[in-house]
A and B are shown apart, each in its own frame.
Chain A
Amino acid sequence: MTDESRLSCEQVLEHLLEYLDQELTAETSAEIDRHLAECRGCFSRAEFERRLKSRVVQTGTASAPESLRARIKALIERF
């Protein structure tokens, strides 16, 4: 890869969330990977966003109440 094709920090940050969402092409993702391997500032930012995203994912699991468990059991018994 030539220096001309390297991404700037601004370009990396612009696409960072799509990168974390795996919504970029393999080529662009690889360019961001290379940038993050060399740039401490962008790497710290990417890791922060990754951890925050992981915390958001965790909010999608919550202990189901007994009332719901009983309701689902009764529902399936009727199937």
Chain B
Amino acid sequence: MVSDDVVPGFQDVQRYLAARGWRSSLSKRPNLAIWRSSDEAEEVLVPLSRAFADYASTMRTVATRVAAHEQRSTEAVLRDLVQLQTDTLRIGLVGEGSRGGTAPLSAGVELLEAVRAALLASACFVKRPQRSYPRMSFGEALEFVQACRLGQTEVGSFVLSVATPLVVASADPRLTPHFGRLATEAFMRSSRLLAQAVRAGAEARLVDPASEVLVSANFARALVDMAPRDESADLRLSATWSPLVVSDADASSLLIERELFEGLERVADQLRPQTPVHPTRVIAVVSELRGVANEQGALEGEVVLTSLLKGGPRRLRVSLAAADYRLAGQAHLAQQVVSVCGRVVRHGRTVELVEPERLVIEDLVEPDDL
């Protein structure tokens, strides 16, 4: 639904009409333009100033008449008019658990983060198509993601709506005048390629280094991370294109059934560069203690850490022997920071620190002590 308060700008309305082949002439009355459809069947009066007392109702009439001409709903036309400079991506969880239009908060946060990563990977792909991006730090790509806007959620199943800009200021307009459009198309295209390959059992086509079909490992991982937590839910992706630029996308809607995600996970793992994982030192707080008593009665086992590494907080699991588990317990109670060495390995959504060693409670200096 588009709120009654949402009133399109007259410049956007004129761009929209021009892009659809309508022709304009000026009225004898000041600040009014008359636009006629190419078949001359419809005509609208567009105020060229917001100073008109009936600006909002006149624009609604414009939307109603254009909608009738295009045989669409007024709401759909209004939405296009107020978001003219953007495409709209919709990421929906389709299943019993989200039928009421809601999703668990933590699942929503994870989905948002995955969508953000997928958009960034798509934009990197437009900048330079390659199999993997170690850092995803192209300026244009970061600017594109920065300019994306989270829209209103929509009625039905849980649907995230993201308005993606057509244009990115830092992109070279001669090479990619609509960098944002290309990134959004890459999002949909990569999703379709991945889903099609898994559905057809043709995963090798994507992971073969010599393949002409290229999807980045980063995008594949992000798509896997969009997997609904609800085991009965599917993922639906769709895009609505701004009428300002004709889209080359061959599909604007895609359903990724739940059962495809296992295959997508395999593809994502195989696309990932097979570089050796070196031990690293992780600084973290101890978030959860999930250990159990061993034969000697000492607690040991899984601990959840929240790392404080670059990129923001990240949860990772680590399995600790009794001595280290005891230290972790002390740190947890005293809310102290620990450091531990190990190799960071990812299994789907889960990040694990394997072969942990040298866990110590860090004696950090509090700002108040300085």
Q: Do A and B bind each other?
A: no
